[in-house]
């Protein structure tokens, strides 16, 4: 039997010590209630501090490498180059994010830095990328089209193809901090 058009999603955990150093740095150096975001075109990964660069080298790059290795048997070195763009989200009560994808990037991820209160919403929900694929199917087939719902915890990493649509349900607590990162891969031609 073939399983056509599968969509790989990596769910992993980050190194606690490296993540905690990174979070402490962010809390000291940035206003997390007015964080650097993709909207204002600030790439937080360009911060040259030891804490940020250690997180990039020991958490972010290995997560993308694992995703590429496990889904395509490739690595970042199989491209001419790449660029990582990261920003902070989710740092306030009633935070949510509408249904979207990460157009332009090839691989995207979310690194959950702080999200301890698991009973206050904030699930990330990935939806079936095959638009209208469920047309004509009855309820016996629902598991073929069910969304992937994840209630993230501190240290969780989710890596996925950038075309995969997702949204974030409303979070009802005062503090949660996530770092979405897009990976742009540059082809030889």
Structure tokens at 121: 């919403």
Q: Is position 81 within any domain? A: yes
Q: What is the total count of domains within the chain?
A: 1
Residue 3 forms part of a structural domain: no
Does the residue 64 lie in any domain?
A: yes
The CATH number that applies at residue 32 is: 2.60.120.620
Q: What is the pLDDT of residues 64-115, one digit of tens each?
A: 999 999 999 999 999 999 999 999 987 677 888 899 999 999 999 999 999 8
Q: Are the C-beta atoms of residues 151 and 11 closer than 8 Å to each other?
A: no
Domain membership flag for residue 4:
no
**124: DSSP letter:** E
CA nearest to 72, candidates 13, 129, 164, 8:
8
**Is 2 domain-assigned?**
no
Using an 8 Å Cβ cutoff, are 26 and 113 in contact? yes
Asked whether residue 5 is assigned to any structural domain, the reply reads no
Residue 31 lies in a domain: yes
- pLDDT value for 168: 92
What band does 40 get if pLDDT is binned at 50, 70 and 90? low
- Tokens 């997560």: give the residue: 63
Identify whether 136 is part of a domain.
yes
Residue 129 domain boundaries:
10-186
CA distance 65 to 69: 6
């Amino acid at each position: 039997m073939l399983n056509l058009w599968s969509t790989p999603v990596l769910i992993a955990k980050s190194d606690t010590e490296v993540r905690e150093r990174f979070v402490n740095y962010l809390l000291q150096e940035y206003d997390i209630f007015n964080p650097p975001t993709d909207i204002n075109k600030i790439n937080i990964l360009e911060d040259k501090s030891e804490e940020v660069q250690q997180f990039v080298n020991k958490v972010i790059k290995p997560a993308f490498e694992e995703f590429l290795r496990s889904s395509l048997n490739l690595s970042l070195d199989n491209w001419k180059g790449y660029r990582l763009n990261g920003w902070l989200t989710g740092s306030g009560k009633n935070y949510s994010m509408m249904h979207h994808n990460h157009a332009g990037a090839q691989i995207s991820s979310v690194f959950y830095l702080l999200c301890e209160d698991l009973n206050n919403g904030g699930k990330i929900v990935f939806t079936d990328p095959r638009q209208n694929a469920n047309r004509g199917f009855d309820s016996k087939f629902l598991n073929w089209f069910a969304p992937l719902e994840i209630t993230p915890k501190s240290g969780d990493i989710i890596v996925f193809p950038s075309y995969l649509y997702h949204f974030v349900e409303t979070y009802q607590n005062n503090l949660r901090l996530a770092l979405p990162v897009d990976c742009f891969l540059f082809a030889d031609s």
